[in-house]
Amino acid sequence: ADYVHSKGLKFGVYTAQGSRTCQSRPGAYEHELIDAQTYCDWTLDYLKNDHCGGEMYKQINESWILFTQGFEKCYKDTGRYIVRSIEYCNNPKDCGLWIGDVANLWRTTGDVQATWTSVMSNIHSQNDMAAVARPGAYNDPDMLQVGDVGLSVTEQISHFSLWCIVSAPLLAGTDLMNASNETLMILTNTEAIAVNQDPGINGRVQGMIVNTTSAPCKASVWAKALANGSVAVVLLNEDESECEITAHWSDIGLKAGQQATARDLWAHKALAVFTDTFTSKVASHGVVFVTFTPVA
């Protein structure tokens, strides 16, 4: 832990709530409080608590509650806050009612793969859980595949943009020691990350799909209201050819007749002032990621 921290990084470990992890190693079952104290002594920053096999509690949240109690004691004793990542919750009317009390992030889907189909499947499943997310508690569609073989650069930019607008955890799933300049460019886009980290308005941290179309192409518009009064928008083209996509003020939360300055978060430049709509050509499997700031 000292070595990891000396590099400016965070230290995390993996466990599972049953008696066995998904790799058939010993899990945390009936040892949560002991493990929590051990992790506190190790100066842990992050725990992934998986859902695998072996002996299990009857209540799915029992292990998470015990770890929360142990980590609350750690914080009281040392001031160290340990982030809790768990698996999983995808029902806003069931586990969604309490999940934010026992975890900081929770998987909502199966494992993502470095394919366009997998990325689209995982991100589209986030809409139903949007109301559950709040500052400090986030839906997790799984780690980023940016830099992994299987996605084009265009698709990787789309992948990162969508994870940013829904305020998903940005966990790099590639080998950073051998990451290309393109990979690092995507993962370190500070303007996109700022949208991801923005607390939103009235605790609504997660952006959502606000419009979809099937003609002339399969496309969707995603929007997130930002704390400074701006709106972040992603135009997503899921089709196999370039397409024009339009964001309407009525969909993204701006008032009719409101002038707004658009800024392209990948080109890192202001575009122009628009009123009521914004239309852009979007490459196949690509995005346009912009913010709109109302003109006073």
Active-site residue, from 50, 142, 198, 239: 50
φ, ψ of residue 81 in degrees (nearest 5) = -100, 125
80 Cβ contact partners less than 8 Å away, ≥ 6 residues apart: 40, 43, 44, 45, 74
Is there a catalytic annotation at residue 276? no
DSSP 7: T
Can you give the length of the chain in residues?
A: 296
Residues β-bridged to residue 281 = 244
Residue whose token pair is 């941290």: 205
Provide the residue type at 125 as one letter: S
Is there a catalytic annotation at residue 45? no
Joined together, the tokens standing for residue 214 give 């099937």
Residue (of 82, 79, 129, 78) closest to 102 by Cα position = 82
Active-site residue, from 41, 77, 94, 111: 111
Burial bucket for residue 110 (CB in 10 Å: 0-12, 13-18, 19+): middle
Active site residues: 50, 111
